[in-house]
Chains A and B, each alone.
Chain A
């Protein structure tokens, strides 16, 4: 398996623009997680899905953030409108609950909002 695949790897956008980050989890995994990493706050859980259903989005910082998982092999994290303070590395991870829930991470998307 190719692992968790995220795109794009880097994104530079202007303040106010819509940004969409994409994630393809490992085939067969039933849980998907979105995290954000900043120097100040480290890694924070934004939202997670079990069997494509959003379970807890309490980590989403504002209503400008939204996430979807239309099927088992694809998820998006959207920021609209984007702001400079959204600049961070966004990671997607997946796991299989019945297999001890070891989490596997993608390479991340480095977002810069100018």
Chain B
């Protein structure tokens, strides 16, 4: 059974810093890995999707990497802004991608102005 762990559980940094959020998964036979953002009381917004054949994906100030052999993914946020404050969730898809996602518990990020 796939298990996904995110470290740290919470992070508070000053505005402008570059930061890395970590995600690890136990079963390397994933179909893809997806990073989401969740604002308080809101739904999940998809940030980046990395297919199992890819090593990284970039969108604006966000860069996500995937290392299947070590069971790890990282989300890099450049030049952080207060608007980046949210909970970031990573989720692994298995079984051809149609079997749903296994989520980590998330990293609660606070960017101090």
Q: Are A105 and B43 in contact (CB under 8 A)?
A: yes
- Measured between beta carbons, the chain A residues less than 8 angstroms from B103 are 42-44
Residues 96-112 of A contacting B (Cβ, < 8 Å):
97, 100-108, 110
Q: What residues of B have a CB within 8 angstroms of the CB of A12 in the complex?
A: none
Residues facing A in B36-77 (CB within 8 A) are: 36, 41-46, 49, 51
The residue from B31, B43, B45, B100 contacting A45, defined by CB atoms under 8 A apart: B100
Please give, as numbers and ranges, the residues of chain B lying within 8 Å of A108 by CB-CB distance.
42-43
Q: Which of B20-43 contact A (CB under 8 A)?
A: 31-32, 34, 36, 41-43
Minimum CB–CB distance for A46 against chain B, Å: 9
Taking A42-B106, A43-B89 as contacts, is the C-beta distance between A103 and B101 under 8 angstroms? yes
Instruction: Judge whether B110 is part of the interface by a CB distance below 8 angstroms.
Output: no
Residue of A nearest to B97 (CB): A101
User: Which residues of B sit under 8 angstroms from A91, Cβ to Cβ?
Assistant: 43-44
Decide if A103 touches B98 in the complex (CB within 8 Å): no
Indicate if A114 sits at the interface (CB-CB under 8 A): no
Instruction: Please measure, in the bound complex, the distance between the C-alpha atom of A100 and the C-alpha atom of B41, giving whole angstroms.
Output: 28
- A52 cross-chain contacts in B, Cβ below 8 A: none
Instruction: Give the number of chain B interface residues (Cβ < 8 Å).
Output: 26
By CB atoms of chain B within 10 A, which of A55, A100, A107 has the most? Answer: A100
Q: How far is the CB of A104 from chain B (nearest CB, A)?
A: 6
Shortest CB-to-CB span from A10 to chain B, Å, is 10
A39-57 contacts to B, CB under 8 A, are 42-45, 48, 50, 55-56
Complex alpha-carbon distance, A59 and B44, angstroms: 20
Residues of B within 8 A of A (CB): 31-32, 34, 36, 41-46, 49, 51, 89, 91, 93, 96-106
The 9 closest A-B pairs by CB, nearest first: A101-B97, A43-B103, A105-B44, A107-B43, A45-B100, A102-B49, A42-B105, A48-B100, A97-B98
